[in-house]
C-alpha cells in the first residue's frame, strides 16, 4: 500500500512540475508579446493580493491583513473539542 502511495505522489509531482514548466514558458512568451498588458495585469494582481491579505511577508507564509478572529475561533473550537474528549478522564491511576 505504501509503495502505491509513493508512486502516486511521484506521478503527481512530475505532472505538476511539467505543467508549471510549460505554463511558465507560455507566460514568458505572452509577457514578451504583450509587455504593457502583462505589466498592467501583474500590478493589478499584486494589489489584489495585498488587499486580500495574501501577500507573504516571510518564508513561513506570514501574510498581511490576517483575520485573527478566525484563528481565535479555530483555537477555541479545538480547545472545546479536546475538553469534550477528556471529560471521562479523571487523572488516571494513582
State the Cα–Cα distance between residues 65 and 47, nearest whole angstrom: 13
* Residues recorded for the chain: 94
For the chain, where are the alpha helices, taking DSSP H only? 2-33, 35-52, 68-85
Q: What is the pLDDT of residue 8?
A: 95
Write the pLDDT tens digit of every residue in 39-56: 999 999 999 999 998 888
Assign 71 a pLDDT band (cuts: 50, 70, 90).
low
Residue 85 Cα distances to 72, 73, 79, 81, 90, angstroms: 20, 19, 10, 6, 12
Amino acid at each position: 500500500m505504501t509503495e502505491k502511495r509513493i508512486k502516486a505522489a511521484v506521478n503527481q509531482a512530475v505532472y505538476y512540475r511539467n505543467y508549471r514548466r510549460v505554463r511558465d514558458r507560455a507566460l514568458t512568451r505572452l509577457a514578451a508579446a504583450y509587455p504593457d498588458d502583462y505589466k498592467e495585469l501583474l500590478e493589478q494582481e499584486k494589489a489584489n493580493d495585498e488587499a486580500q491579505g495574501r501577500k507573504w511577508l516571510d518564508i513561513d507564509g506570514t501574510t498581511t491583513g490576517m483575520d485573527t478572529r478566525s484563528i481565535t475561533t479555530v483555537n477555541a473550537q479545538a480547545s472545546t473539542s479536546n475538553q469534550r474528549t477528556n471529560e471521562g478522564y479523571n487523572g488516571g491511576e494513582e
